[in-house]
Amino acid sequence: MLFGSGTSPLGSLSPQQALELANVYLDNAYNASDTGIALVLCHDTKVSLSQAKKTIRHTGGQALNEGIATTYIDLGALLKSHGHDNEAQDIYKKAEKLG
Question: What is the pTM assigned to this prediction?
Answer: 0.85
Domains in the chain: boundaries: 14-98
In this prediction, residue 3 carries a pLDDT of 44
- Lowest model confidence (mean pLDDT) among 6-10, 24-28, 36-40: 6-10
Sign of the C-alpha dihedral, residues 48, 51, 57, 59?
Answer: negative
Q: What is the band of 55 on the pLDDT scale with cuts at 50, 70, 90?
A: confident
Question: Tell me, what's the pLDDT at 4?
Answer: 46
In the structure, what pLDDT confidence band is assigned to residue 56 with cuts at 50, 70 and 90? confident
Q: Which of these, 31, 57, 50, 52, lies nearest to 90 by C-alpha position?
A: 50
Rounded distance between C-alpha atoms, residue 33 and residue 28, angstroms: 10
